[in-house]
A and B are shown apart, each in its own frame.
Chain A
Amino acid sequence: GAGVSQTPSNKVTEKGKYVELRCDPISGHTALYWYRQSLGQGPEFLIYFQGTGAADDSGLPNDRFFAVRPEGSVSTLKIQRTERGDSAVYLCASSASGTSVYNEQFFGPGTRLTVL
């Protein structure tokens, strides 16, 4: 079946602009995760959704970052007033249930965001 998909695959924007990054999880997966991967680093946790609600948003770096999942499937990560330091690959993952790390997280290919 289809895996996790993310759009766009690449996004170039100018400093100060607003961007939205989309994630389509595997059908039926209730848990959804966003990570950010800077160049030469491992993925860094941003936020976790269980269903429609954000169960853990402790990784969001500041209030310019926001994510929604209104119907419990597709999620959008929103970044306001982008800064050059926001440039990174944004990864999305989903799992059948978020209640345990025994439930494997399946990762999408990522969106590469470049802020000029």
Chain B
Amino acid sequence: GNSVTQMEGPVTLSEEAFLTINCTYTATGYPSLFWYVQYPGEGLQLLLKATKADDKGSNKGFEATYRKETTSFHLEKGSVQVSDSAVYFCALSHINFNKFYFGSGTKLNVKP
């Protein structure tokens, strides 16, 4: 089957700290992988994606590399800001399929 496992939160960091949020997946075939972000009071927004092994998705200083050998898609950012405080969701889907499988989300709190 298809599933996504994320590290539990909340994760609390000071501004300018390095961020890693772990994500591993189980999937049939070769899925595409995504990170979505949900800011307080807003809907889910696509942060970045990678569609094949070894691809690196990046956006707003965040990066994640699709690692097939470890079935992982860890989210990283070198220097977090208070404005990055949000809930982050890892997700997978298959090309030509239309449903996403989401992890349970990781809440990030960044303190000034």
Closest chain B residue, CB of each to CB of A93: B44
Q: Which residues of A contact B51 (CB under 8 A)?
A: 102
Residues 86-103 of B contacting A (Cβ, < 8 Å)? 89, 91, 93-103
Q: Which residues of A contact B97 (CB under 8 A)?
A: 101
A103 to chain B, nearest CB (A): 9
- A contact patch SS: loop
Instruction: Report which of B43, B46, B100 forms a contact with A3, defined as CB distance below 8 A.
Output: B43
Contact B99 A107 (CB under 8 A): no
Contact B45 A101 (CB under 8 A): no
Instruction: Report which of B42, B45, B98, B104 forms a contact with A42, defined as CB distance below 8 A.
Output: B104
Judged by a CB distance under 8 angstroms, whether A40 is at the interface is yes
Residue total for B at the interface (Cβ-Cβ under 8 A): 25
Closest chain B residue, CB of each to CB of A50: B98
Judged by a CB distance under 8 angstroms, whether B57 is at the interface is no
Residue total for A at the interface (Cβ-Cβ under 8 A): 30
A55 to B99, CA, bound (A): 11
Closest chain B residue, CB of each to CB of A99: B96
Judged by a CB distance under 8 angstroms, whether B21 is at the interface is no
Judged by a CB distance under 8 angstroms, whether B4 is at the interface is yes
